[in-house]
Chain A
Amino acid sequence: MIQERKTSKEISGMGHSMKRKEDGRFIQGKGHYVDDIKLDGMLYMDIVRSPYAYAKIKSIKIEKAMATPGVVAVVTGRDLEKYNLHWMPTLMSDTQMVLPTDTVMYQAQEVAAVIATSRYAAADGVEAVEVEYEVMKPLMDPYKALAPGAPLLRPDKKDKKDNHIWHWEAGDRKKTDKLFETAEVKVKEEIYLPRIHVASIETCGCVASYDKVNNYLTMYMTTQAPHAIRTVIALVAGHVGLTEEKIRVISPDIGGGFGGKVPVYPGYVIAIAVSFLVGKPVKWIEDRSENLQADSFARDYHITAEMAGTKAGKIQGIRFKVLADHGYTDAAANPSKYPLGLFSICTGSYDYDTAFIESDAVYTNKPPGGVAYRCSFRVTEAVHAIERITDKFAATIGKDPAAFRMQNFIKKEQFPWKSPTGWTYDSGDYAPALQKAMDVIGYDKMRKEQVEKRKKGEIMGIGICSFTEIVGAGPSKDFDILGIKMFDSAEIRVHPTGKALARFGTKSQGQGHETTYAQIIAEELGIPAENIQVEEGDTDTAPYGLGTYASRSTPTAGAAAAMASRKLRDKARKIAAYLLEVSEADLEWVPGKFFVKGAPEKSKTIQELVFAAYTNHPPGMEAGFEATHYYDPPNLTFPFGSYICVVDIDKETCEIKVRRFVAIDDCGNIINPMIVQGQVHGGLTQGIAPAMYEELIYDDEGNILNGTLMDYLVPTAVESPSWETGHTCTPSPHHPIGAKGVGESPTVGAPPAIANAIIDALSPYGITHMDIPITPYKVWKALKEKGVVKAI
């Protein structure tokens, strides 16, 4: 369907490509990021990190560091232990060291913190701290860590007899096993999605500023979820007197998040502890290398994917098994009920009723984490597995992957659709999106070209991904983090002159909330978006909310903006009835004003009605024009899309060139097409990144081999293709404005489209699978094995 614009450009409600309100400060160097904060008397913190992946700490000598000019303190785990602050809880109710007292569990783990009067002096101090280690053999392979007799990595956990963390299942095991016994066609693939890192261009950091006189902590920090963080700080530090009303978390401008700024890192806690003890502000800004080596990773899932179906091409079921390598603690950022995140969306866009997923998580000597990397709680892993195995099934029975998908799509009339793992897809219309992508790229022509190229021995591939996302966590009956339900909030205050201030429980990290939230309110109230000031990220002023990640802002806080606006519109209607001396039922609304039915000249603008709320409000009515709404979504939203990628591979160098990439997204009704398209572009580049370039690599001794941006390959403008984008529109039936999240769909959908294109290209040589990132070297090795290219 086509989305209609209901408001004028002056109002700029939904569907207008309004230029971003926040850009003025960013293009003039007036953005305000955490490292831009400078407070009187501020000290600087730097961190001593472990060179070993697994070692006992025999001694930490701080004398030379303390003698270094400018150094004022060195903090170790033993110091924090006195205040019971050496361990902290993770978001998944595991425990994580703030600073170790006995053992380090991964390379680059925090060992001690140096506090000094300048950044440089702190770094000098770090060099001068002497730590003696007794090195142990680390467990880097999750399968070996699970094997009987493997050394126990977490003896601190009294009930743990092995390195197994949890087991989790979804779907119907019996029914699925039965299907796999009898199915005509079964395909299987071992898929590894390696560790990667979000690598937002701004690293993490904070300024912890404790005011001893007033017992009040102001914490400026790079967080995507300021309210939740304040609650966590209160839970961790309440016993030393820092209770929640004495803590203010301010998340200033954030230089990219992608999930990496959801967790609480030890550096934040140490900075708070030091500021609390010395009564001065403490700044901690991590280096890029620290960020890549120690902050939360993403992925690291080993997946066995199986699909069963008929020779005629009907998918009948899937069976997936996952081993999740969590590092030394489960510090994943998932809703409490879902240790595997929303991976169980892995049944995908296809119509069948049988599925079973089982998963286990394991401790190893790697850094903790398990964040999204621009996706909704492990959906990328799920979509990669289903879309790779779907292609393999199509190839096995000799069907074109587009025709095979068309044959198996859940049909429009089947929505709301109950998935075999228990989700209710709110809406979808998959075939038109794939058809549109095929039309834009010229699918049939591309296939013909491929036939011609293959005759000449050239290597060209076409890959498809038709994904279903699950975003907007989430309904309070199922979704919480540490017990806090995953609603979100909006508070709108309209001033007497009709201009508004709106505050939210979320926090933009580049998504453009200052513009899009204003547009939602403009749509509902008719106040020009230009006149609506949006604020987020200050726990003292914004209403409580769970923050921005997992594409949840529009589905939750965006909905709250619409609902709060509607409360205000109801009030405006009452005032209009009073002023126009008619009954409320006689009034009709067009964006920006109420008028009397049949007498359009009798009207009151929203600005007039707001002014009356302060100057001439009806007897018995509360004065003012403010509303708050806490929105608890009835369901998640299910954006989808179809992507097609065309690659050419050089037979000599095995260089892979993405010649074209067409992305058709459906995120329901669109608030700002320019911003949606921009989100899609960015997500696609973060899709090609793990598909072809990024992987955190460790050796057997636990050394990270590419812990800097010199060799962890974030795509530049050269690697990133010129993306071709478009959309279809299937509104969410339960969301107040029919919208769905979109910022992460492309990161989810792009990697399997690229992988499928490369495998399609190599299929004439008998190659049926490769794990991402698929590099020229991997292609060259595979083609050498098949005798296609010769060893140099």
Chain B
Amino acid sequence: MEKEITVTLNGDPKTVTVEPRLLLVHLIRENLNATGTHIGCDTSNCGACTVLLDGKSVKSCTILAIQANGKKITTVEGLATAAGLHPLQEGFKENHALHCGFCTPGMMMRAVELLEKNPNPTEEEIRRGISGNLCRCTGYNNIVKAIQYAGAKLRGEKLPSTEPVFV
């Protein structure tokens, strides 16, 4: 009843034998040992497990591993390149957009697709765009700033100040 599947994880092809019921998030974390993708709920509400599947952001707890057969998976481990951090990674660090770090990988993976579809989003569009991802620590202000920062960097524009306005 087990089935052999092949996925490309962050550029590397992987062939594994899995139970049909195995969730994609468990394939990534347990079978492929990429633990940067997290699990925060059991009802697809928190978004901590968000990854890119053929470039589209998905909650990997809501998809079966076998549905990813033949597809490309990108996780947080695949964001940085030889040239350095992804603009979102840089934006999150520079703008203090993470505290405990648990929601961060999912939040960034969601934001990758958000910025691809809408390279210059308004604050309102960012807030709606990440509303499938919960963060319990930061209050979201700085996550919004981080995504704006990454947007500016991807557009090749002048970067907004990262100094906190705490008068």
Contact = CB atoms under 8 A, between A and B. Distances in A.
Interface of A: 17, 19-20, 22-31, 33, 35-36, 38, 119-120, 198-203, 253-256, 258, 287-289, 509-512, 673-686, 708-710, 714, 716-718, 720, 722-723, 725-727
24 contacts: A26-B104, A27-B101, A28-B80, A29-B76, A35-B35, A35-B39, A120-B19, A200-B102, A201-B38, A201-B102, A202-B100, A287-B42, A288-B42, A289-B42, A510-B101, A510-B137, A677-B96, A682-B99, A682-B139, A685-B139, A717-B128, A717-B133, A717-B144, A725-B165
B41 A678 contact: no
A675 B96 contact: yes
B167 interface: yes
Contact of A23 (B48, B92, B126, B143): B92
B92 A27 contact: yes
Contacts of B17: none
Interface size of B as a range: 35 or more
Interface string B12-54: 0000000101100010011001111111111101101000000
Given A709-B45, A709-B46, A717-B130, A681 B94 contact: no
B89 interface: yes
Contact of B98 (A17, A23, A198): A23
B105 interface: yes
B96 A674 contact: yes
Interface string B127-145: 1101111111111111110
A17 B93 CA distance: 12
B77 interface: yes
B163 interface: yes
Given A201-B40, A727-B167, 13 more contacts: A27-B101, A28-B79, A29-B35, A35-B38, A36-B29, A38-B33, A255-B100, A288-B46, A512-B99, A673-B164, A674-B164, A720-B127, A723-B141
Interface of B: 19, 21-22, 26, 29-30, 33-43, 45-46, 48, 75-77, 79-80, 85, 89, 92-94, 96, 98-105, 108, 123, 126-128, 130-144, 163-167
Contacts of B142: 678, 681
A511 B138 CA distance: 10
B134 A681 contact: no
Contacts of B132: 716
A697 B135 CA distance: 23
Q: Which 9 A-B pairs have the closest CB atoms?
A: A29-B36, A510-B100, A255-B102, A26-B101, A510-B99, A681-B139, A29-B76, A685-B139, A709-B45
A30 B163 contact: no
B163 A17 contact: yes
B166 A676 contact: yes
Given A202-B40, A709-B43, A28 B76 contact: yes
Contacts of B48: 201
B89 to A, nearest CB: 4
Given A120-B19, A674-B164, A201 B139 contact: no
Taking each of A19, A27, A716, which has the highest tally of chain B beta carbons within 10 Å of its own beta carbon? A27
Nearest to B109: A29
Contacts of B130: 716-717
A33 B167 contact: no
A200 B100 contact: yes
Contact of A684 (B39, B104, B108, B139): B139
Given A17-B164, A676-B166, A681-B142, A714 B102 contact: no
Contacts of B96: 19-20, 674-675, 677-678
A31 B102 contact: yes
A256 B126 contact: no
Nearest to B102: A255
A233 to B, nearest CB: 24
A200 B133 CA distance: 13
A709 B61 CA distance: 14
A717 B143 contact: yes
B136 A717 contact: no
Contacts of B100: 200-202, 253-256, 509-510
A678 B135 CA distance: 13
Nearest to B45: A709
Contacts of A289: 42-43
A746 B2 CA distance: 51
B138 A681 contact: yes
Contacts of A28: 36, 76-77, 79-80, 85, 89
Nearest to B104: A26
Contacts of B167: 726-727
B43 to A, nearest CB: 5
B139 to A, nearest CB: 3
Nearest to B37: A29
Nearest to A27: B89
Contacts of B45: 708-710, 714
